[in-house]
């Protein structure tokens, strides 16, 4: 591992589990990212390490970061991932000008759709649902072509066994970052998280993409304000609050549809939120509408079931009825 990283010479970023370094395959065929603890691991970090390996060993998805291997030959274990060169979505929204690339309206919609597809895969493509529990713009990585990958599964967990396999469909208890503002109001009430909590967290990411604002707007005593609460209360047809980068890029009609979708994800009651599958379908329909008409028609012929564009064009009450 020391040879692969040139003695841990090039720090890429700091993650929830530890520090991520650039490395190269000992066969010289590809770049890799190697995560190692910044300090001696405590019991909680060891649990997160095991959890990360467990979750990422469940299968592959093109928008979930790929675990290539792990090193257990020293006191502090290390993880080896596929290499991502362009850092986190958070950096490109909130970083210094020289650190980030311009994210166009289409870029933002595509990143959101890819992330939604990855979360839907975790929620619905395994015998037992996987809840990420830490969906933020910092845990969404981008490569040099702005393709997204969901990362950081140290506090993720498995959901309840499907109803067909158990009589008790209890939600799972959070093991990681308790009470973070992205978790959704249900955590403060029941100290539990489900797939609906990931939807709320994703709604916060959508709000960041739309406004360019950070998820915590103010931490002054007595004035703490989250972007989620601000967005639901303040972002209306009149007050669009567009990120400066996309003010001349996003069509008002498309923007308002994503605003409506974001507010649905940020509903206080989990059952009022759409599923990640519905979110991914809605965003995909918007992206299709921005493509040449011929491509759009081809894509719609390939999609079965009811048209997602009809969901996007519905009123808020009609969307509620669909859910």
- pLDDT for res 293: 42
Q: In terms of domains, do 31 and 124 share one? A: no
- pLDDT for res 172: 35
- Token pair 């958070």 in the structure block, residue: 90
- Whether 269 is covered by a domain: the verdict is yes
Q: In terms of domains, do 142 and 177 share one? A: yes
Q: Which residues pair with 32 in a beta bridge?
A: 23, 82
DSSP letters spanning 26-50: TTSS-EEEEEE-SS---HHHHHHHH
DSSP letters spanning 162-199: PGGG-S--PPEEP-SSTT-GGG-HHHHHHSEE-HHHHH
C-alpha count within 13 angstroms, C-beta hemisphere, residue 282:
27
- pLDDT for res 298: 44
Q: In terms of domains, do 201 and 253 share one? A: yes
Q: In terms of domains, do 161 and 78 share one? A: no
- pLDDT for res 169: 37
The answer to whether the beta carbons of residues 241 and 247 sit under 8 Å apart is no
Q: What is the CATH number of the domain that holds 277?
A: 1.10.510.10
- Whether 265 is covered by a domain: the verdict is yes
- Whether 132 is covered by a domain: the verdict is yes
Residues of the chain with pLDDT under 70: 15-17, 26-29, 86, 159-193, 237-240, 291-323
The answer to whether the beta carbons of residues 294 and 274 sit under 8 Å apart is no
Q: In terms of domains, do 69 and 93 share one? A: no
- The phi, psi pair for 79, rounded to 5°, reads -115, 140
- pLDDT for res 292: 56
215-254 pLDDT per residue, tens: 998 777 777 889 999 999 988 765 667 888 888 888 888 8
- Whether 1 is covered by a domain: the verdict is no
* Chosen domain end from 54, 82, 110: 82
Planar angle of CA 156, 162, 168, nearest 5 degrees = 95
Domain residue limits at 148: 89-322
- pLDDT for res 28: 64
d(CA 269, CA 312): 21
d(CA 246, CA 102): 9
Q: In terms of domains, do 62 and 181 share one? A: no
- pLDDT for res 248: 80
d(CA 1, CA 111): 32
* Chosen domain end from 34, 63, 82: 82
Domain count, the chain: 2
The answer to whether the beta carbons of residues 86 and 151 sit under 8 Å apart is no
**Dihedral angle computed from the Cα positions of residues 241, 245, 248 and 249, in that order, rounded to the nearest 10 degrees:** -100
Q: In terms of domains, do 66 and 201 share one? A: no
The answer to whether the beta carbons of residues 160 and 171 sit under 8 Å apart is yes
Query: Which helix (H) or strand (E) is 265 found in, with range?
Result: helix 252-265
- Whether 2 is covered by a domain: the verdict is no
């Amino acid at each position: 591992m020391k040879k692969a990283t040139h003695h841990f010479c090039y720090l890429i970023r700091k993650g929830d589990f530890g520090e991520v370094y650039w490395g190269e395959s000992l066969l010289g065929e590809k770049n890799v990212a190697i995560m190692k603890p910044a300090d001696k691991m405590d019991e909680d970090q060891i649990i997160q390490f095991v959890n990360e390996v467990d979750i990422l060993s469940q299968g592959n998805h093109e928008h979930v970061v790929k675990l290539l291997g792990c090193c257990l030959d020293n006191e502090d274990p290390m993880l080896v991932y596929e290499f991502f060169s362009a850092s986190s979505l958070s950096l490109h929204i909130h970083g210094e000008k020289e650190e980030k690339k311009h994210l166009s309206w289409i870029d933002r919609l595509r990143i959101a759709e890819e992330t939604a597809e990855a979360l839907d895969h975790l929620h619905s493509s395994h015998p037992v649902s996987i809840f990420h529990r830490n969906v933020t713009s910092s845990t969404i990585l981008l490569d040099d072509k702005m393709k997204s990958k969901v990362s950081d599964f140290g506090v993720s967990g498995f959901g309840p066994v499907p109803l067909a396999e158990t009589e008790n469909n209890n939600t799972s208890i959070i093991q990681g970052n308790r009470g973070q503002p992205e978790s959704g109001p249900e955590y403060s009430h029941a100290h539990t998280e489900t797939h609906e909590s990931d939807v709320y967290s994703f709604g916060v990411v959508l709000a960041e993409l739309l406004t360019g604002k950070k998820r915590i707007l103010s931490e002054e005593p007595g004035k703490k304000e989250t972007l989620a609460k601000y967005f639901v209360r303040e972002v209306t047809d009149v007050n669009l609050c567009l990120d400066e980068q996309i003010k001349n890029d996003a069509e008002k009609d498309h923007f308002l549809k994503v605003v409506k979708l974001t507010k649905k994800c940020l509903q206080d009651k989990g059952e009022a939120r759409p599923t990640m599958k519905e979110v991914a379908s809605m965003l995909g329909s918007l992206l299709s509408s921005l493509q040449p008409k011929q491509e759009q028609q081809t894509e719609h012929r390939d999609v079965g079931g009811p048209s997602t564009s009809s969901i996007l064009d519905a009123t808020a009450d009609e969307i509620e009825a669909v859910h």
